[in-house]
Chains A and B, each alone.
Chain A
Amino acid sequence: MYKVTINGLDVEVEQGATVFEAAEKAGIYIPTLCYHPDLPTFGGCRVCMVEADGKIVTACRAPVTDGMVVKTDTEEVRKVRLTNVELILASHHKDCQSCSRNNTCKLQEVSAFVGINQDRMRQIRRSVEPVKPDDSNPFFHRDFTRCILCGICIRTCQEINGVAAIDFAFRGFHTKVSVLGDKPLKDSQCESCGECLVRCPTGALYLAEPAVAEREVESVCTYCGVGCGIKLGVRGDRVIKVEGNRDNQVNRGDLCVKGRFGFGFINHPDRLTKPLIKKDGIFVKTSWDEALDFIVDKMSDIKARHGADSLGGISSARCTNEENYLFQKLFRAMGTNNVDHCARL
């Protein structure tokens, strides 16, 4: 364990911890923009600057040394951080009111912390390049004028989803997050998992349909056997969004496109809520008991007339391992090995 003194407070941290982690442990806030606990560090935003043993370092990357003395609020630190945030705002969209992240925005949080004020901003030349948002993806859109180039989306796509659909393109002030060939997102490798969206610290990535829930209900995604933990966001009696449940050990909050965005069926008018049996050429709603009896009768009949091997079962990827196990047991018990799975078809 290393002993570190931060603003006069002593804290012990593991060897290899960063200054940021040490400060976190000591309960001291250090502003960050490009840091994300799920991801490797980047070091580009430079707002986490602190003084460590007399030198200005980025807290998110600098490892602590034993006996290190850290100061997070010297005049020099304050000035550098403030100017940095002012510079980010200089080419940032001006209108927070129209932004999906108003009030939950990391840039707003950091701006308030470093002390952005109107008098100083008046000296700043503002220039926001008017770029049209990319609304090609049906689930979420990208507004480049609200992007702070923290690279969190890029690292997420690379490290969490392993797809690497996006990367930095162009250079200097003209740098932007882009897919290969600077095409719309829909024409890329992007799988629309939305992992980047949930980590974006600003309103640069935003839901195509804004959705703030009244209440949350914990559940499990029914799309596949992975069984990711989810939180359903509910308004009235409608499910309006799905978030990954970070406390769930199966997926630790990560979701795929189906789990995150494919919830429209829940409240869809076409959704079947009862089994249907075709009577006189028309599907008629019925009870589960009647439906199951009907199936058992038909299957027994087929088996009796043509033998067990004229039966076969196709299981679903939406079932769990256990369910699939039971399913094949069932068919073997009926006397056939004809069991298959939708993922093979």
Chain B
Amino acid sequence: MIQKFDTIEKEALEALEKEQNNDIPQIYVGCATCGNATGAQSVVQTIKNKLKKEDFKAEIKEVGCIGMCFAEVLVDVIKPGQPRVSYHGVTPEIAEEIVESYVINDDHRPDLALGYFGEGGPEDVERIDAGDVFKNQQRVILKNCGVIDPENINEYIARGGYRGLAEALEMKQEDIIGVLKDSGLRGRGGAGFPAGRKWESCLKPQADQKYVICNADEGDPGAFMDRSVLEGDPHSVIEGMIIAGYTIGSSKGYFYVRAEYPLAIKRLRRAIAQAKEKNLLGENILGTGFNFELEIFQGAGAFVCGESTALVMSIEGNRGWPKPLPRPRTTEEGLWGKPTLLNNVKTFSVVPQILSKGAEWFRGIGTEGSPGTAVFALTGKINRSGLIEVPMGIELDKIIHEIGGGILDDRKFKAVQTGGPSGGCLPEDKLHLSVDFDTLLEAGSMMGSGGMVVIDETTCMVDVARYFLDFTFEESCGQCVPCRQGTQQMLEVLNDICEGRGREGDIEHLLELGDAIIKGSICGLGQTAPNPVLSTIQYFQDEYEAHIKDHTCPALVCKNLIVYHIDEEKCTACGRCRKACPVEAISGEKKVPHKIDQELCTKCGICFQECPERFSAVERLTGKENLAAAARGRLTDV
């Protein structure tokens, strides 16, 4: 059987060699959703046209996301015998220049390059993999993303792909579970449940049919880790699922992918077909007699359908409602009442590597309790946003200041939000904390499935809590009272606080609500929905109090609590604000300091941006007195 795989591998390498002419330059374009959204497809087209026009031969390859979303469109060029040079922010015009200067000629254009990977690059550009972004990262789950052509199975095989499956098929089922248990792998879908134990409890029950489901619902706002893996390295997930099928004795697997991920679905379809063609999927896999089919089920995009029992209901054609306790375990009675193994995309995708490299290798990465790596979608008020993969146990600080390059515009850091709508916000003095399942949970946040939003001083914490509550409120399935009614109540209170209608006792009210929602809700959505509120109260109670008692928004964000005002002393009557104001709320003429009519002002903030920095005459004021003065039309009095 291994020989059979050896042959497949050999054929793949040969085919690659034939397809790939390494004597000509290779051009990689980041064509995941992030790249495409910034115009990657027209860059690809431009490069093709340019090459044709110049009659120059080069390989052009559409690859997945390498994680530097801040720098898209990314174009990488590898010339024979040269390291990989990366170009960022590429437009069709720049693409033409790169082809002209570096692909065809020998000027690597340090003005356009982001840097290079590996050894021996030119001295005037940075070595990326040694720089802040990559030196703290460790690519395990994402190792192929942005590196291989996800639509070519041979490239996956050439990088060790499907060897894990071949090896697994030679192993006893219990032994595979043993390796998983030894590796300490915990599910990457959020809760961090030990994968080995889950697989084991699915192996035990006797049943005529069992199912394997890959949870690719990924509903957290701002999260795109799973999408990137599916778009950039679909075979790794497929391989993990086939291994799972073999291990638990299942012949049928489902991908539950949200329909908003068309590219991921397309790549998966293609990958499934290719794997079948090579007898790595389908009937009698590698001649072992083991059959495994994969089907893609497109979810309609409800966040709650990521919850395991709701997901199962949804595939069965029912309303996507989580099942209340007590209920049978999904591993014993899941899809169609059969034992079902449900794991996250990243959990499946790392399994093949664990099997081929060993449990020890995996344990060597990360911490004792949380081995391996964590993938985050790093976003917010940060210099370098993107998809990152770090060893568990890294300090939050390193992620934010080194990988993320610190806070945008040198502003002050305020908090970091992890775990999406189920997680919480951690303040500056928690930045030393280690990133792993248990530490984050203890601090009032959680790992979640991997969103990380950085918040700076210009962000209002009550407003942040409101943003997440608004999400859970909209996404609550409506089945149980605490979540359906409780998220609405919390949202109303937060709206009131942000809009100057906060009441004494509201903080206690929120705390009580939070407690009842956590204890009373049926599923994880409700049970975690109050976290963004509770953690912001825990660490930023003064901001809540300022809003409620003094109608002050310290971050000057909440519209109802701020007024725009022009400082007469500073105003030079340049008139820029007056011309810019969309509702003509600003009056004044040459040499007469300008004035804002508070009745007309919609607080859009345009005048504040328009007033030249050297004057800085437009100011934002907050607080009861200023609001009252503005209401009286006599703001200058204060």
Contacts and interface: CB of A to CB of B under 8 A. Distances in A.
A175 B319 contact: no
B492 interface: yes
A123 B488 CA distance: 14
Residue from B481, B487, B492 whose CB has the most chain A CB atoms within 10 Å: B481
Interface stretch (B288-296, B510-518, B586-594): B510-518
A168 B313 CA distance: 15
A172 B472 CA distance: 9
A57 B325 contact: yes
Interface string B500-527: 0001011001001101100111100000
B46 interface: no
Contact of B478 (A87, A124, A167, A174): A174
A287 interface: no
A46 B480 CA distance: 7
A79 B481 contact: no
A28 to B, nearest CB: 20
Interface in A116-175: 123-125, 127, 149, 167-168, 170-175
Given A79-B516, A83-B512, A125-B496, A90 B480 contact: no
A63 interface: yes
Contacts of A149: 478, 484
A50 interface: no
A44 B479 contact: yes
A62 B326 contact: yes
A168 B496 CA distance: 30
Contact of A173 (B324, B326, B476, B520): B476
A88 B481 CA distance: 7
Nearest to B517: A83
CB-CB nearest 5 A-B residue pairs: A175-B478, A43-B324, A83-B516, A87-B485, A172-B476
Interface string B240-264: 0000000000000000000000000
A87 B515 CA distance: 13
A328 B485 CA distance: 62
Contacts of B519: 49, 56, 76, 80
A102 to B, nearest CB: 22
A84 interface: yes
Given A49-B520, A79-B515, A58 B488 contact: no
Contact of A43 (B478, B486, B503, B522): B522
B485 A44 contact: no
Contacts of A61: 324-326
A108 interface: no
B389 interface: no
A127 B325 contact: no
B418 to A, nearest CB: 24
B493 interface: yes
A91 interface: yes
A30 interface: no
Interface string B292-326: 00000000001000000000000000010000111
A80 B512 CA distance: 9
Interface in B326-353: 326
A149 B519 CA distance: 20
B437 interface: no
Contact of B481 (A45, A62, A63, A127): A45
A47 interface: yes
Interface string B435-463: 00000000000000000000000000000
Interface string B462-483: 0000000000011111111110
B489 interface: yes
Nearest to A46: B520
Contacts of A88: 481, 485
B476 A87 contact: no
Given A171-B477, A171-B478, A125 B319 contact: no
Contacts of B326: 57, 61-63
A84 B516 contact: yes
A80 B516 contact: yes
Given A44-B479, A58-B324, A127 B492 contact: yes
13 contacts: A46-B521, A47-B481, A58-B324, A61-B325, A62-B326, A79-B512, A79-B516, A80-B520, A84-B520, A124-B489, A170-B478, A171-B477, A175-B479
Nearest to A175: B478
Contacts of A56: 519-520
B324 A90 contact: no
A90 B485 contact: yes
A256 to B, nearest CB: 28
B481 A173 contact: no
B324 to A, nearest CB: 4
A172 B516 contact: no
A293 B512 CA distance: 81
B515 A172 contact: no
A173 B488 contact: yes
Contacts of B488: 90-91, 127, 172-173
B478 A83 contact: no
Interface string A91-118: 1000000000000000000000000000
B524 to A, nearest CB: 15
A114 to B, nearest CB: 12
A168 B485 contact: no
Contacts of A84: 481-482, 516, 520
A172 B474 contact: yes
A291 B516 CA distance: 73
**Max chain A Cβ within 10 angstroms of own Cβ: one of B485, B488, B519, B522:** B485
Interface in A205-238: none
Nearest to A87: B485
A57 B484 CA distance: 19
Contacts of B324: 42-44, 58, 61
A170 B479 CA distance: 11
Most buried by B among A42, A47, A87, A149: A87
Contact of B319 (A42, A79, A127, A168): A168
A43 B519 CA distance: 14
B478 A172 contact: yes
Contacts of B515: 79-80, 83
Contacts of B474: 172
Given A46-B481, A46-B522, 17 more contacts: A44-B479, A44-B481, A58-B325, A63-B326, A79-B515, A79-B516, A80-B482, A84-B520, A87-B482, A87-B486, A123-B503, A125-B492, A149-B484, A168-B319, A172-B477, A173-B476, A173-B478
B272 to A, nearest CB: 32
Contacts of A168: 319, 478
B405 to A, nearest CB: 38
Interface string B389-410: 0000000000000000000000
A173 B473 contact: yes
A222 B496 CA distance: 60
B469 to A, nearest CB: 12
A49 B496 CA distance: 30
Contacts of B489: 87, 90, 124-125
Contacts of B479: 44, 175
B474 to A, nearest CB: 6
B100 to A, nearest CB: 54
A44 B480 contact: yes
Given A57-B325, A61-B326, A124-B489, A171 B516 contact: no
Contacts of B512: 79, 83
